[in-house]
Each structure stands twice: as structure tokens, then as C-alpha cells.
Amino acid sequence: MSLEITFLGTGAAFPSPARGASALVLRREGQCWLFDCGEGTQTQLMRSHLRAARITKIFITHLHGDHIFGLPGLLCTLSLQSDPDASKAPVDIYGPLGLRSFLWRSLELSHSQLLFPYTVHELVPTPDQCPPEEFKDFSGWDRGEALPQGPPGRVLHLDPEEDSYLLVEDEQLVVRAFRLFHRVPSFGFVLEEKPRPGKLDVQKLKDLG
């Protein structure tokens, strides 16, 4: 399995002419997985060798602006560059509880309609992930509100046995999120490659005794 990492932004708080806000891309077998999407990420993508249209998954560590303010704009640009296709697999977006509401409201208020499907999978944080005075429970924000065009997706809770959140699993790897301590609930992401059985040349082994 081939994995390649490209840093699009390593700055904090705000972008600069020479350093973008937080964003990196993991390229895996023709697909691009984006981790964080600070302001200016799509400009950095255009300067790179990567193709934004290859983005199939997006992972957001936390809801501070320098990690998410580029996301609505990036999705809109991807939409402008795509053709309507009902059979196209959705772009999966993973992040803390509240991300679905942020995206839906940003796109709704700006009258933006995406030509491709997307899903938002929210990770429910625990209060001990940040200082008590900073913790906000977003679980009831949209309760009772009609979100007719709100994106689908799962709500993921901490697995107490693994002390992590299972996000993705296929034949080659497993992706989990784990809790970080920050000013707001934050998550790190781990990609673990599954063991690959080796191949033995039985006849050669016999010949070697």
C-alpha cells in the first residue's frame, strides 16, 4: 500500500503569504484524504501536485476557525468543478459534534447547493477533553429544527474498551480517532495498516533444507 503525505498548511491562528493554515493531504491509491481545512486550503491545493477532485474523505481535528474556515469554500469549489451524478459515492467528513450544523448553516445561508453528496460523521466528545469552562454541549443545537437538506451521517461515541472511535476499516487499514486535550474538544487520527501475510516459496525452502 502506497501512502504519501503533503503538508498544505502548518500555520496557526491565521494564514500568511508563505504559510497556510492547518491542512495536510494523505494520498492513498489514487484517493486523497484531507486532514483539517484552514482558510486558504484550496489555494494551496492549486499550488500542489494534488487534484482536489480526488478528495474522498475529510477529517477535522477540532472546530477552531483555523482548522475549518476553509471547508465550506472548498466544498463549493469542488461542486463547481463536478458534474451532477446521483451514483457518485459521497465525500465522508469526520469531526467533532457541531460540524454538521456548521456546514449545513454555512451552505444554507450562502445559498450554496452542492452537486455531489456528502456525509458528516460526528464524534461526541467527553467533557474532560478541554477546560470545563470551554466545554459546550452541541448535541441539542438542531433538536426540533427541520433540516430538510441537512447531510446524513453517523454519530460516533467513544468505545470505552478501545478508548477511541472507529471511523474507517477496510481490507488494508483501520482509521481511529482518539481524544486530545485542548481549549475545545479535539481529536487525533491514527491510520493503522493491517498485517499482511507473507508469501513463502515452499520449493525453495525445501531445496535449502
- Structural domains in the chain? 4-208 (3.60.15.10)
Provide the pLDDT for residue 178: 97
Of these residues, 66, 85, 159, 163, which one is catalytic?
A: 66
| Annotation marks residue 128 as catalytic | no
pLDDT-flagged residues of the chain (< 70): 86, 143-150
Provide the pLDDT for residue 61: 98
Q: How many helices (H) and strands (E) does the chain have?
A: 5, 10
Residues 6+ apart with CB under 8 A from 141: 98, 101
- CA distances to 47, 67, 79 from 112, rounded to whole Å, are 25, 21, 9
- Classified as helix, coil or strand, 110 is coil
Distance CA 174, CA 60 (A): 17
pLDDT in tens, 10-59: 998 888 888 889 999 999 988 999 999 999 999 999 999 999 989 999 99
pTM tops 0.85: yes
Provide the pLDDT for residue 139: 83
At 63, which amino acid appears?
L
